[in-house]
Amino acid sequence: MYSPFRKANGDTGRHGRSKSVWNIFVYRSSSKFDKRDPPKELICPIYGCLMFDPVVVSTGQSFERTSVQVCKDLGFKPQLPDGLNPDFTNVIPNLALRTTILTWCEKSGAEKPQQPDYYVVESVVRASMASTSSSSISREDSSIRVSERDLFKGGTENSPMLLSQAASEMKSRDSHFYSSSSSEESVIANNSPLLPFKTRLSSYSSSSSQSTSSEIVSGEVPSSASTSSVDDYYVVQFKKSDVYEQEQAVISLRKSTRTDEEARVSLCTPRLLSALKPLLLSRYAGVQPNAVAALVNLSLADINKVKIVRAGMTSMLIDLLKSGSEETKEHAAGAIFSLALEDDNKTAIGVLGALQPLLHALRSETERTRHDSALALYHLTLVQSNRVKLIKLGAANTLLGLLKASDMAGKVMLVLCNLAVSEEGKSALLDANAVDVLLGILRNSNKLDDSTRENCVGALYSLSQKSLRFKSMAKEAKAGEVLQVVVERGSERAREKAKKMLIAMQTRVKEEYEDEEEEVNWEGILEG
């Protein structure tokens, strides 16, 4: 089959270097344009219609973009008439072919192609899958789905965090437990902060909304309905002009995804997410909060986290966190926190501008909004690029100021621990007099739980690494007295860090002294 794109390898650039380039060939026909018989080069080989948004894939063929997305979502590689299997790994817009298609339509009198419906294309692809032998199904593309299913497999084993069992923070929520996945860097050098609570995000039931459970009855979806029909039901209801019917449908979605993991996975389709988008912007109090809460429930399934971000929901959640009602802000913070648990989402969420609204939400009137915003910042700052962005927003002074709030101290300390491991964060925190503030927290640590106290020592330890400024600031703040108390009464990890800082402060020794195996006379060092 002829393709208007061909990838040429081994071309030589103007400087004589070998490189790969895309050679674009524009279809030109000497025959008269015929509305009834468009050139086959203008038709998507998968969908079978004129292409609305043609793209060229890595192997050189051109397809409708929706067709490529459907094949990727289904893990399917069609076998083309020439016997080749296309590679959908990378796609680029085929602007030349799009221009050719529009020119053909104009000269032939044919209607310009419209963007195909995802569901219609999916039906065509599924029919092709059913009629294709098993050898045509790509095992490579199916790995995409496997990787999404296993986003958090082994998360607990690879997690840099230790989770305590202080359930009082979350007793109003349903039990859905998360551990952090592997991250770009460890939170604290060689050791991680000890969380004073569970990093848990639970589903949102309808009880916390203005809508009552009795309202859900009329919008209940029969449990015997098939997955496709349930998906159709919500899509149709969401697109209705009757606000009451929209409200009942979104409440029903919220309820059905509250505890049912299978429903979360099966319902989180591109069609449903696309239909849910307008409801996130609804001005009706019974629609918008329930829509955001339903999205939180969908995001609880590990495999859905990347899908939701790729569906363009993040920017809408950020806007809602800025200007929504208190209930909507609460759900928006929860959704961003849930999506931030996935490593592949962390950088994207930071780039889209979530850091500043989350920082502002730490002062929210709602406890859950503050809680989820802090945890979202913690997970986002496991990535270096987000640490730098947060520091540029002036977060150092803001976070140190929030340490005085007893209900926020433990959560804010986690974010400070992440910032302290980067050079930019260390410099900004020292400029903000973090040493004096953190030592003051330790002096009055009777109200702190053990994990927050330990994380405070950990943040000081990170600030002390390779820093002459820390040594002078610590001596001026009389850190020796505070650290000595930690050595005597602190936890094992806190004592170890405090001992190392005392050595560095009082003896000018090299870093390798810390790793010596011989017994150290700590009493002599402290007395000296």
pLDDT digits 0-9 by tens, 164-213: 333 333 333 333 333 333 333 334 333 445 544 444 465 665 444 443 33
Structure confidence at residue 404 (pLDDT): 78
Angle at CA of residue 155, ends 152 and 158, nearest 5°: 140
Structure confidence at residue 177 (pLDDT): 32
Asked if pLDDT for residue 53 goes beyond 80, the answer is yes
Structure confidence at residue 73 (pLDDT): 81
Structure confidence at residue 389 (pLDDT): 93
Structure confidence at residue 449 (pLDDT): 79
Structure confidence at residue 60 (pLDDT): 82
Q: Tell me what the mean pLDDT of segment 119-143 comes to.
A: 61
Is 291 within 8 Å of 206 (Cβ atoms)?
no
Distances (CA, A) of 359 to 24, 387, 451, 456, 462: 47, 12, 22, 20, 22
pLDDT band at 230 (very low <50, low <70, confident <90, very high): low
Asked if pLDDT for residue 490 goes beyond 70, the answer is yes
What is the spatial distance between Cα 90 and Cα 97, in angstroms, rounded to a whole number? 18
pLDDT band at 521 (very low <50, low <70, confident <90, very high): low
Q: What are the backbone dihedrals phi and psi of residue 344, each rounded to the nearest 5 degrees, phi first?
A: -65, -15
* CATH 1.25.10.10 domain range(s) in the chain: 230-348, 394-516
Distances (CA, A) of 119 to 115, 116, 271, 303, 381: 12, 9, 7, 20, 38
CB atoms within 10 A of CB 121: 22
pLDDT in tens, 342-351: 999 999 999 9
Distances (CA, A) of 54 to 12, 13, 16, 141, 409: 28, 27, 32, 21, 53
| Residue that wins the pLDDT comparison between 431 and 512 | 431
What is the spatial distance between Cα 226 and Cα 446, in angstroms, rounded to a whole number? 57
C-beta pairs of 205-208 under 8 Å, 24+ apart in sequence = 205/174, 205/254, 205/255, 205/258, 206/251, 206/254, 206/255, 206/258, 206/290, 206/293, 208/293, 208/327
53: nearest Cα among 38, 39, 37, 69 = 69
3-class SS at 364? Answer: coil
Share of the chain above pLDDT 90, in %: 32
Angle at CA of residue 77, ends 72 and 78, nearest 5°: 125
What is the spatial distance between Cα 397 and Cα 459, in angstroms, rounded to a whole number? 15
Assign domain 40-129 to its CATH superfamily: Zinc/RING finger domain, C3HC4 (zinc finger) (3.30.40.10)
CB atoms within 10 A of CB 372: 29
Q: Residue 374: exposed, middle, or buried by beta-carbon count in 10 A (0-12, 13-18, 19+)?
A: buried
Assign domain 394-516 to its CATH superfamily: Leucine-rich Repeat Variant (1.25.10.10)
Structure confidence at residue 5 (pLDDT): 38
Q: Tell me what the mean pLDDT of segment 310-338 comes to.
A: 94
pLDDT in tens, 465-480: 877 788 888 888 888 8
Q: Tell me what the mean pLDDT of segment 314-324 comes to.
A: 93
Name residues whose C-beta falls within 8 Å of residue 28's C-beta, 6 or more positions apart in sequence. none
Q: Which two tokens stand for residue 422?
A: 């980067």
Amino acid identity of residue 67, one-letter, is S
Asked if pLDDT for residue 216 goes beyond 60, the answer is no
Asked if pLDDT for residue 224 goes beyond 70, the answer is no
Q: 230-348: which CATH architecture?
A: Alpha Horseshoe (1.25)
Strand partners, 23: 6
pLDDT band at 225 (very low <50, low <70, confident <90, very high): very low
Structure confidence at residue 183 (pLDDT): 38
Angle at which helices 409-420 and 423-431 cross, to 10°:
120
Structure confidence at residue 519 (pLDDT): 56
Structure confidence at residue 494 (pLDDT): 85
pLDDT band at 386 (very low <50, low <70, confident <90, very high): very high
pLDDT band at 330 (very low <50, low <70, confident <90, very high): very high
Structure confidence at residue 321 (pLDDT): 94
pLDDT band at 309 (very low <50, low <70, confident <90, very high): very high
Is 359 within 8 Å of 389 (Cβ atoms)?
no
pLDDT in tens, 251-270: 999 999 998 899 999 999 99
C-beta pairs of 3-8 under 8 Å, 24+ apart in sequence = 3/41, 3/56, 3/60, 3/61, 3/62, 4/41, 4/56, 4/62, 4/94, 4/96, 4/97, 4/100, 5/56, 5/60, 5/61, 5/62, 5/94, 5/97, 6/60, 7/58, 7/59, 7/60
Computed over every residue of the chain, the mean pLDDT equals 75
Distances (CA, A) of 402 to 159, 184, 361, 474, 481: 27, 26, 12, 21, 25
Share of the chain above pLDDT 70, in %: 70
Distances (CA, A) of 56 to 101, 199, 528: 15, 42, 72
Asked if pLDDT for residue 280 goes beyond 70, the answer is yes
What is the spatial distance between Cα 333 and Cα 525, in angstroms, rounded to a whole number? 48
Asked if pLDDT for residue 94 goes beyond 50, the answer is yes
Q: Which two tokens stand for residue 496?
A: 């170890």
Structure confidence at residue 464 (pLDDT): 86
* CATH 3.30.40.10 domain range(s) in the chain: 40-129
- pTM attached to this predicted model: 0.59
pLDDT band at 8 (very low <50, low <70, confident <90, very high): very low
| Residue that wins the pLDDT comparison between 22 and 67 | 67
| Residue that wins the pLDDT comparison between 430 and 182 | 430
Distances (CA, A) of 192 to 306, 343, 417: 26, 17, 9
Angle at CA of residue 153, ends 148 and 157, nearest 5°: 145
Distances (CA, A) of 299 to 205, 326, 412: 14, 20, 24
Q: What are the backbone dihedrals phi and psi of residue 91, each rounded to the nearest 5 degrees, phi first?
A: -135, 150
DSSP per position, 84-115 = -----S-EEE-HHHHHHHHHHHHHHTPPPP-P
Structure confidence at residue 279 (pLDDT): 94
